[in-house]
Amino acid sequence: MRIQDTIKSNFQHYFESIYPFEANPLVGKSRKASEEFGKLGISMSHLESRILGTLIRGQSCSKFVEIGTLTGATAVWIAESLQENGQLWTFEKDLKHAEAAQKIFDEYHSQSSGHSGRRIHLKVGDAVEMLPTIESEGPFDGIFIDGNKAAYCQYLDWAELNLRKGGLIIGDNVFLGGAVLGELDHSKFSPKQISVMREFNLRLANPEKYMSTLLPTAEGLMVAVKLT
């Protein structure tokens, strides 16, 4: 075993020992549904979800948007991190994933709405087309972008107009498996996806508009606070 693997497994072991539970038991149920679709690999990990939850609670967010629901694990994490009566609007294009996610959300509402008032609104369809339909609910306190990798800059255009000052913009997969970093053996992503993701990162790195950083998670996580 390489030394890095030893360190990683020690870290993983320690992480799980101090965080034995996720935000809600429905997170595990949702990940199981992702696994049944063969999509567990693109579901946010416990560690990544906890980064999101910590930032969302730290910013006292009440109204949040997610692009790319999959089966709802991250949505439940986001919802549990919002203030009481917080609302999440989450967008999913794939009908099978949306159906599985809606089951999780129905269970979530029957379990928790009575005491926390938190709600998850699932929007089925292409987020670029559907985001305007929720604008009257804004301005929003943050957005988590994890959808179509070639549309990240369009999601960002929308966020710039519909998030409050101090709002959070968090993007998953911003390294595109290493392609964005210039690693050449990644043919999985198209030149368009790579150029869009580089532009997305560069726009959020602008210190006049954002305080931000790249977190070197396995997939790369962009974390930005909107300054204006």
Considering only residues 23 to 62 of the shown chain, the ones binding ligand DHB according to CB under 6 A are 42
Q: Is residue 92 close enough to count as binding Mg ion by CB under 5 A?
A: no
Q: How far is the CB of 116 from ligand DHB (least distance, A)?
A: 27
Total site size for ligand DHB, rule CB under 6 A: 5
- Sort residue 85 into left (φ over 0), alpha (ψ -120 to 50) or beta: left
Closer CB to ligand DHB, 7 or 218, in the complex: 218
| Residue 34 binding target from ligand DHB, Mg ion, none, CB below 5 to 8 Å by type | none
- Considering beta carbons, is residue 73 or 122 the nearer one to Mg ion? 73
- Pick 53 or 147: Cβ nearer ligand DHB: 147
Interaction between residue 173 and ligand DHB (CB under 6 A): yes
Residue 48 binds to Mg ion (criterion: CB under 5 A): no
Binders in 118-157 for ligand DHB, by CB under 6 A: 146
Distance, CA of 21 to CA of 46 (rounded, Å): 9
**Shortest Cβ 172–ligand DHB spacing (Å):** 5
Q: How far is the CB of 48 from ligand DHB (least distance, A)?
A: 9
Query: What part of residues 115-154 is at the interface with Mg ion (CB under 5 A)?
Result: 146
Task: State yes or no: residue 80 binds ligand DHB (CB under 6 A).
Answer: no
**3-state SS track over the chain:** CCHHHHHHHHHHHHHHHHCCCCCCHHHHHHHHHHHHCCCHHHCCCHHHHHHHHHHHHHCCCCEEEEECCCCCHHHHHHHHHCCCCCEEEEEECCHHHHHHHHHHHHHHHHHHHHHHCCEEEEEECCHHHHHHHHHHHCCEEEEEECCCHHHHHHHHHHHHHHEEEEEEEEEECCCHHHHHHCCCCCCCCCHHHHHHHHHHHHHHCCCCCEEEEEECCCCCEEEEEECC
* Residue 219 C-beta: closest distance to Mg ion, Å: 6
Shortest gap between Cβ of 216 and ligand DHB (angstroms)? 15
Shortest approach of ligand DHB to residue 173 CB, angstroms? 5
Q: Are 213 and 169 in contact (CB under 8 A)?
A: no
Which two tokens mark 162?
Answer: 């519909």
Q: Which residues bind Mg ion (CB under 5 A)?
A: 146, 172-173
Q: Which residues bind ligand DHB (CB under 6 A)?
A: 42, 146, 172-173, 219
